[in-house]
Structure 1
């Protein structure tokens, strides 16, 4: 089943559920008139709310996330498990997705520019230095044969785009040695090997890369259309003073941040299954491209493997250098959750922290929500402010460490303390919001089941 087919089935389920008996009897505040008319055009059911939010969250997470190319030896279970992990991470902390997408965006742009500068200049020099053999008769056949056998990768080089840069960082180029897959090349390694003549320049066009992608413009447009329609409904409800559930507020926060990541990933191929093969031509073997026995042995240790699988994904998303523990080269793939270089670290950090503050700020829309208990009201406000404020000390601590360099023992201890406390506050606040959001479904405010009167937005004139 393709993505479009699956999405069509979900939309069909949403329409079917709209005709099912209402679940409004779970509300102790809602009036009896609305619950007795689930098929009325002026009401909606709890199923409608849950399914609308569920479809929007699905579009924000499962369809919007652009993963790297999986390993050749990875099973379907491992690939799906990683995708589920990213989906959960996007639901809990969508600013991590923005941080990841921002790093990959800067890395892809820098890589495309670097290849164009390197081989584009070489191609210009090659063509300007070519001799026209039709004007002279003294050119020897041996000279022509010698020049044609010399590696000239820049002569056929085509300009790289952002898509090429994304493809290179997501594990798009696999090195084969003696007819067997060896390792996924990073853009830096590919640039070096092509320049040294060890491998041929991969002549793959942007259209060929997009042909490998499972996500086309139509599927992306459908996902964005679902997000846009959800936002329009909330804005219309706000304009008509209709209450909004906490679940819808949380969905709006996730959708707003995911749209930013979606824009940054727009040129990145989606769900590519196979890399582009590059063959090693040199006689010497590239032995320095794999882990040595000590690294592999350490990773195979049970305690190390379990701890790294917990710590590594989050560190990889925010740019922490933990690649020495990553099992990617053993499975012939790029870093599972990486795929970026060290470009504009300060800007990436600023965007990630600001996204976290925006995420908490959107939850502040429920500041005056009608909770059953006053304690729940205070907890929601406190947790929303906690998410807004948690990224601030994290940003200042990292920025201060980058500015100072050597901070001494006290400074290092203070920074570690901040790096531990800030994420802890965020995690506690996020869990609190999720619990309160689920508890709020027990009793929804009066008017939450009323639908938007769209005719009020249409200009009309009295005759």
Structure 2
């Protein structure tokens, strides 16, 4: 309802809001763009943003190994859904990548895996001869099959795993070049005191946050479709586990904060969930939350960079500013709230008592859900506003960068 109200307000022609005054530091005092050689069109603005968002998110998304015997359409839809998540909530993808990165590091330290082996393990790339994933650390420590799984994984060379990746230097280079070019254009416009649209600011935020994902998933194979069989050809008989189906909302929360013990059983499926990463220790969770909070804060800070840009109405300016502040502060609040929740366990019950501990946990839970709802609303607003702003762009927006100013003249 909030988004609908904002849309109705923005597209109402007889709105009472007053246009925001244009800053006085534009390159040219003229309010028109008459020279076609020094101007850009609305299509150029939109196409540059769309191309950058698509290039960044499509290449940065590294899905887990899918279930067997899926059609190309199912594989495409699976990756497209992850891409949409990366566009709507890139912080979730950063958290997912951080969990798998720290998981791969843990496997590298404890079992001598390479980072490529660790990522392949976390993404469900290893399966037993009967087809169930080998994706839990406890599976490597089983008295009957653990050593066999471990030996089988260690025998596989990192090059063999990397050979399954569909990504190469060219595809990543094209996406990186598009992101760098777009960022350079934005910086040049700021340097030459040219107006930057809110859509370009939002796109720049996507490009920067996707750098986090690229770095975290640097060694993760891209778009692997078939797993590698490890372990003995005839494993010990195991009784498949049929876990209770969790509600959709709980599965959504698992995809954000990570899976806990009992949330998923490898023996019950032929592939890991789309946002699966092996559960790790408390320090692992703190690291994941810290990286996610950092990415979310950076994402919001870039939106705050448009604090003094041109807005069609004062109402839009205030909505943008307040929403930007929300997405800057909420990741930090959620991180501190999670730390508080972890610290409330253990000896805290002895200090606060059972009633006091229950009250403190209730407050922490209310802060978590309340902040999350505020964050979701702010993110939706910052998706709608840049598009709505295109209906009323001021003339200075269409002035193009004078690249000749950066060419040395003798």
Same-fold status (TM-score > 0.5): yes
| Cα separation, 2, equivalents of 1:328 and 1:243 | 53
Q: CA deviation at 1:380?
A: 0.8
2:61 corresponds to: 65
2:7 maps to which residue? none
How far residue 315 of structure 1 moved from its aligned partner, in angstroms, is 2.5
Deviates more, 1:273-282 or 1:101-110: 273-282
> Residue in 1 aligned with 2:171?
219
Shift of 1:329: 5.1
The farther-off stretch of 183-192 and 360-369 is: 183-192
Report the Cα offset of residue 431 of structure 1. Answer: 1.5
**Kept in 1: contact 2:198–2:386 (CA 8 A):** yes
SS in 2 for 1:448: helix
User: How far apart are 1:268 and its partner, in Å?
Assistant: 0.5
- Structure 2: 5+ residue runs without aligned partners? 1-21, 23-28, 350-355
Alignment of 1:32-71 (within 5 A): 34=33, 40-71=36-67
Cα deviation, residue 373, structure 1: 1.6
Aligned position for 2:122: 169
Among candidates 151, 162, 170, match of residue 210 of structure 1: 162
**Does residue 429 in structure 1 map to residue 378 in structure 2?**
yes
The runs of 5 or more residues in structure 1 that have no matched partner are 1-28, 117-159
Quick one: distance in 2 between partners of 1:166 and 1:198?
Answer: 16
1:255-294 to structure 2, matched below 5 A, reads 255-281=207-233, 284-287=236-239, 290-292=240-242
Q: Per the alignment, do residues 50 and 283 of structure 1 end up closer, same or farther by CA in structure 2, a change over 3 Å counting?
A: closer
Which one has the largest radius of gyration?
1
Distance 1:197 1:176 in 2: 12
Who is 2:4 aligned against? none
Q: 1:201 is matched with which residue? A: 152
CA-based RMSD of the aligned residues comes to: 2.5
Correspondent of 1:96 among 92, 99, 103 = 92
Deviation of the 1:190 alpha carbon:
3.7
Note if 1:408 corresponds to 2:357.
Answer: yes
| Residue of 231, 234, 250 corresponding to 2:183 | 231
Deviation per CA, 1:239-276, whole angstroms, max 9, x where unpaired?
Answer: 10011010000000111011111111011000001000
Q: Residues 168 and 451 (structure 1 numbering): CA distance in 2 closer, same or farther, change over 3 Å?
A: same
- 1:184 and 1:334 in contact (8 A); partners too: no
Q: 1:442: which partner in 2?
A: 391
- Of the structure 1 ranges 75-84 and 213-222, higher mean CA displacement relative to structure 2 is found in 75-84
Q: Partners of 1:243 and 1:100 in 2: how far apart? A: 35
Gap change, CA 1:400 and 1:231, over 3 Å in 2: same
Relative to structure 1, the CA distance from residue 311 to residue 230 in structure 2 (aligned partners, 3 Å threshold; closer, same or farther) is farther
| 1:81 shift after superposition | 3.2
Bigger relative contact order, structure 1 or 2 (CA pairs below 8 A, ≥6 apart): 2
Distance 1:87 1:31, change over 3 A: farther
Check if 1:189 corresponds to 2:139: yes
Which structure 2 residues correspond to residues 125-136 of structure 1 after superposition, within 5 A?
none
How far, CA to CA, are the matches of 1:328 and 1:283 in structure 2?
Answer: 15
Distance 1:44 1:58, change over 3 A: same
Cα distance change of structure 1 residues 408 and 314 upon mapping to structure 2, 3 Å threshold: closer
- Mapped to 1, the partners of 2:401 and 2:261 lie a distance apart of 50
| Residues 306-362 of structure 1: CA deviation (Å, up to 9, x unaligned) | x42x542443232253863x5875440123211233152112111211221211111
- Deviation of 1:222 (Å): 1.3
Q: What's the TM-score, normalizing by structure 1?
A: 0.74
**1:276 to 1:45, Cα distance in 2 relative to 1, 3 A:** same
Paired residues of 2:145 and 2:235 also in contact (CA < 8 A): no
Q: Call closer, same or farther: CA 1:205–1:32 in 2, change over 3 Å.
A: same
